[in-house]
């Protein structure tokens, strides 16, 4: 039995299925981001968010890989920022830089099996890096390091939301059969 060629209908159907799944995950990430940005009540700590769209980032990391997860984060922030009117604002810069840094770290930790972290640990690490990058950029944009006074509280929130989001992602990976939830 021969393997199908790259231009065969069977391979094209698989590529279409993959693209459709990635598009659905992107749509879910954008919807979650928009609901969190517009409908959910803010946390009482300035700069703190739940980061529920991170669940989708973790699903894409496990099920698809680095380039797909990076594209998901960048497109989510671009479309979400455009929808809420913050495109190219300082909030956009913070979100795109921190989101990309967090996604890169989470993929690296997932790919490096020696780290021995579950999706919960990977999510907490990503959440902490997201917070750290945003604080660093905010300090640079505002010209003051006083924003770092929020770091302890924001990192506690990052740990809690990272645990929750990682647990949800872990359960979804298992339920959807996307890949190995425990690297």
Domains of the chain with bracketed CATH: 9-41+49-176 (1.10.1760)
41-70 pLDDT per residue, tens: 777 777 778 899 999 999 999 999 999 999
Whole-model pTM: value is 0.86
Q: What is the largest CA-CA distance in the chain?
A: 67
pLDDT for the residue numbered 182: 66
Mean pLDDT for 61-84 is: 95
Cβ neighbour number for residue 32 with a 10 Å cutoff: 20
């Amino acid at each position: 039995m021969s393997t199908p060629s790259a231009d065969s209908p069977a391979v094209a159907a698989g590529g279409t299925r993959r693209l459709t799944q990635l598009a659905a995950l992107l749509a879910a990430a954008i919807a979650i981001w928009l609901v969190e940005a517009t409908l959910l009540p803010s946390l009482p700590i300035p700069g703190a968010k739940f980061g529920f769209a991170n669940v989708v980032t973790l699903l894409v990391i496990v099920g698809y890989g680095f380039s797909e997860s990076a594209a998901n984060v960048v497109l989510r922030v671009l479309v979400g920022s455009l929808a809420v009117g913050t495109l190219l604002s300082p909030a956009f810069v913070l979100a795109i830089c921190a989101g990309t840094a967090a996604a890169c770290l989470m993929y690296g930790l997932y790919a490096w099996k020696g780290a021995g972290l579950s999706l919960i640990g990977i999510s907490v690490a990503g959440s902490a890096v997201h917070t750290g990058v945003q604080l660093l950029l905010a300090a640079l944009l505002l010209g003051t390091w006083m924003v770092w006074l929020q770091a302890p509280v924001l990192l506690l929130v990052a740990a809690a939301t990272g645990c929750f989001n990682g647990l949800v992602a872990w359960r979804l990976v298992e339920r959807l059969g996307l890949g190995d939830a425990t690297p």
